[in-house]
């Protein structure tokens, strides 16, 4: 079974120390890569570079930076990718990103497919590129069919694989994989797995990104929101069962949204 883990770049010294420890703990199961998120328009871009270089230099696991293009210029993307290439980084997660409110200049790229095409045109196949996939539809999409078609466009532009937005209904994943196969897409679609450890945070994220929390899960989480032990036990059972269902149907690669914590994802991975 293959695994990979996503981190966000820490901003404080304490956050950096914690992430070092988390990386060490997660390395024990030999993940394929550690990915690091990237904020639109400068918010965490320096911190992403710093975290990525630190992983690449000090860890046994390779780093895969996220790169969002909205608001960016081609020269800036090249400058960053040259730095990555110089330290032998050869994986990327290529995204459009979200435009922060009030920003007018969207830069040289409109959508992620343009970024994928640009990176492939500049670096050939140096970078293995993952893109984002949305089994429950991207929140800005007009409808499911156009969203699927736009996803297929990213693949046509050169994406080598995709990581999904998190979901708690295995059927949503299988339906998405079926539908895109019918569009002629055959790249690996790796499920993005979000451990459940915090009710308020999960509801807030899900509202923002369009991931659905099935009612039966939501009701239990509401019940356990002030009882962290029960919530964690329930969350572990739900997400482990989800992964088990995916595994029984042939999925053998899992990408964990670690939230810079090792224990929740490790427990799920070890159960598998």
Active site residues: 6
For 83-140, the DSSP string reads: HHHHTT--EEEEE---PPTT----BT-SSHHHHHHHHHHHHTTSSEEEEEE-TT--TT
The SS3 call for residue 141 is coil
Closer of 149 and 233 to ligand FAD (Cβ): 149
Told to check if 229 binds ligand FAD by CB under 6 A, we report no
Distance CA 19, CA 51 (A): 9
Contact track, ligand FAD, 158-177, x by CB under 6 A: -----x-x------------
- The contact pattern for ligand FAD, residues 114-133, with x = CB under 6 A and - = no contact, is ------------------x-
| 3 state DSSP class of 33 | strand
Closest separation in Å from C-beta 130 to ligand FAD: 7
Residues 66-95 that bind ligand FAD (CB under 6 A): 66, 68, 93, 95
**Calpha distance 163→174 (Å, rounded):** 14
Please, what is the minimum distance in Å from the beta carbon of residue 224 to ligand FAD?
27
Pattern 17-56, ligand FAD, x by CB under 6 A: --------------------xxxx----------------
Which residues have a Cβ under 8 Å from the Cβ of 152 and sit 6 or more positions away? 180, 183, 184, 185
Applying CB under 6 A, among 192, 195, 235, 264 the residue interacting with ligand FAD is 192
Ordered DSSP codes for 167-194: -S-HHHHHHHHHHHHHTT--S-EEPEE-
Residue 29: exposure state from Cβ atoms within 10 A (0-12, 13-18, ≥19): middle
| 3-state SS class at 257 | strand
Nearer of residues 97 and 235 to ligand FAD, judged by Cβ: 97
Least gap, CB of 103 to ligand FAD (angstroms): 13
**Count of residues that interact with ligand FAD, criterion CB under 6 A:** 24
Site residues, ligand FAD (CB under 6 A): 37-40, 66, 68, 93, 95-98, 111-113, 132, 138, 140-141, 147, 150, 154, 163, 165, 192
């Amino acid at each position: 079974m293959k695994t990979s883990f996503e981190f966000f770049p820490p901003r404080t010294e304490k956050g950096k120390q914690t992430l070092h420890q988390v990386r060490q703990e997660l390395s024990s199961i030999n993940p394929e890569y550690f990915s690091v998120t990237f904020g639109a328009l400068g918010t965490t871009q320096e911190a992403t570079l710093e975290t990525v270089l630190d992983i690449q230099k000090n860890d046994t696991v390779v780093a895969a930076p996220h790169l969002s293009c909205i608001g960016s210029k081609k020269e800036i993307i090249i400058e960053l990718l040259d730095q990555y290439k110089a330290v032998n980084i050869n994986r990327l997660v290529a995204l459009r990103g979200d435009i922060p409110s009030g920003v007018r200049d969207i830069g040289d790229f409109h959508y992620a497919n343009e970024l994928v095409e640009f990176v492939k045109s500049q670096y050939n196949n140096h970078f293995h590129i993952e893109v984002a996939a949305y089994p429950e539809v991207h929140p800005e999409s007009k409808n499911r069919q156009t969203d699927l078609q736009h996803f297929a466009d990213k693949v046509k532009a050169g994406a080598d694989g995709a990581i999904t937005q998190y979901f708690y209904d295995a059927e949503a994943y299988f339906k998405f994989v079926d539908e895109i196969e019918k569009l002629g897409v055959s790249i690996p679609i790796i499920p993005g797995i979000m451990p459940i450890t915090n009710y308020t945070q999960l509801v807030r994220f899900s509202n923002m990104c369009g991931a659905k929390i099935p009612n039966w899960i939501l009701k239990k989480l509401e019940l356990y929101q002030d009882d962290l032990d029960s919530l964690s036990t329930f969350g572990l059972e739900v997400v482990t069962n989800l992964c088990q269902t995916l595994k029984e149907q042939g999925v053998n690669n899992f990408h964990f949204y670690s939230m810079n914590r090792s224990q929740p994802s490790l427990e799920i991975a070890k159960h598998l």
